[in-house]
Structure 1
Amino acid sequence: MSTNTMRLDTRLFGREVSYGLDGPWASYWLVFLRLITGWWFLSAGLGKIVEYGLLYDAEGWLLHATEGSIVYPVTEWFALNAVIIPNFMVPWGQLAIGLGLIFGCLTRLAAANGAILMFFFYFGGTGWENGFVNGDLLGLLLFLTIIVFAAGRVWGIDAYLEQTDAVEKRPWLRYLMG
């Protein structure tokens, strides 16, 4: 009987380190993280769309919640010059990110956009009044984990897309998938 054992061998702080990713548990965990994170963003986007429709307004958050934060110059510019972009992209972007993660389609692209949103939510928040380690930081870490481990290749559409001729001829497309 042969066991298919995958090991991650690396060097960490000058020492050789090896991690075993035995059996299907790592794959199940990646699918679980991808689905939970996808549902979180899908429901956040749907909630905003149902409550506000096309009238979602991010201007107050862009100007006031982020004031004094490291992202304030960016959010202030959007609030004063192009508020229509975040007004559209936050609810509809959350919806698209959630669907991409749930179906495992263009997973890295979806997770990268989720990481960008979580970066702004975390660093543009209210001065870490809920602590340095909070839900926004954990959300950012979830998205980064999904990107690093190519979670769309496990029970996702990306596993099939990567085998198509279009992707075979354009290997750079794999960076958006997985």
Structure 2
Amino acid sequence: MATNTANPLADEFAFDIGGPVAKYWVALLRVITGWYFFHAGVTKIIESGLTYGGATGYLQGMTGTALGPIPVWMAENLAWLVEPGVPLFETLIGLGIMFGALTRLAAFGGAIFMTLFWVGNGGFGHGLVTGDFQTLLIFVTLAALAAGRYYGLDAIIERTKFVERHPKLKYLLG
């Protein structure tokens, strides 16, 4: 059995506009996914400010899910963090993904959100693969492909002297 360890994004299959198709696609996927999360967060901020009560109501409604009493406890004891956190973090995750800045960190945050949404919305009447699960997979894909390096700010940030002196920061970038 042969194993190909080559990076498929390194192949130079290009349109006339001068670059590999895969890089354009990853960048487009990153921007669209970032906009989706940014829009969700900024809309909540516009409508409710940083007191988004829908978050605690959502958590209390998760009582019959696989997470059991954990979200209910969070709603009752961490409302001071959850209510401003949901719109703020959705907005910041969206901006990070959209502009390709701290992409892996933002994608990790997005994956955590989508995992909670997937379990919380989990009627699973149509199986385990839902829209929330698919968005979770997109966030994981963006992190795995270091999507911020493709026409994103991470490509610029990674070339700074600060990141060169602290190479472990590249785990958050990309």
- So what's the TM-score if we normalise by structure 1? 0.85
Q: Which moved more, 1:78-87 or 1:149-158?
A: 78-87
1:60 maps to what in 2? 57
Q: C-alpha separation between the residues in 1 aligned to 2:139 and 2:122?
A: 21
Partners of 2:39 and 2:109 lie apart in 1 by 16
1:53-91 CA deviation, whole Å, 9 max, x = no partner?
Answer: 233111111011x12222233312211211121211111
Partner of 2:110: 114
Is the CA contact 2:34–2:98 (under 8 Å) kept in the aligned structure 1?
Answer: yes
Which structure 2 residues correspond to residues 161-176 of structure 1 after superposition, within 5 A?
161-176=157-172
Equivalent residue, structure 2, for 1:137: 133
Count of residues in correspondence between the two structures: 163
- 1:36 pairs with one of 19, 27, 32: 32
Give unpaired runs (5+ residues) of structure 1.
1-14
1:102 CA drift (Å): 1.1
1:154 to 144, 150, 153: 150
Which residue type is aligned with residue 54 of structure 1? Answer: L
Larger fraction in strand: 1
* 1:12-33 C-alpha deviation (Å, 9 max, x unpaired): xxx4343744321111111011
| SS at 1:67 equivalent | helix
1:86-141 CA-to-partner distances (Å, cap 9, x unmatched) read 21111111100111011110000111000000000001114223542211001000
Identity percentage of aligned residues: 45
Question: In the alignment, does 2:113 pair up with 1:127?
Answer: no
Alignment of 1:9-88 (within 5 A): 15-18=1-4, 20-21=8-9, 22-23=11-12, 24-57=20-53, 58-64=55-61, 66-88=62-84
CA distance in 2, matches of 1:128, 1:51: 30
Q: Residue 50 of structure 2 contacts residue 87 of structure 2 at CA under 8 Å; is this kept in 1?
A: no
- Of 83, 89, 108 in structure 2, the residue corresponding to residue 93 of structure 1 is 89
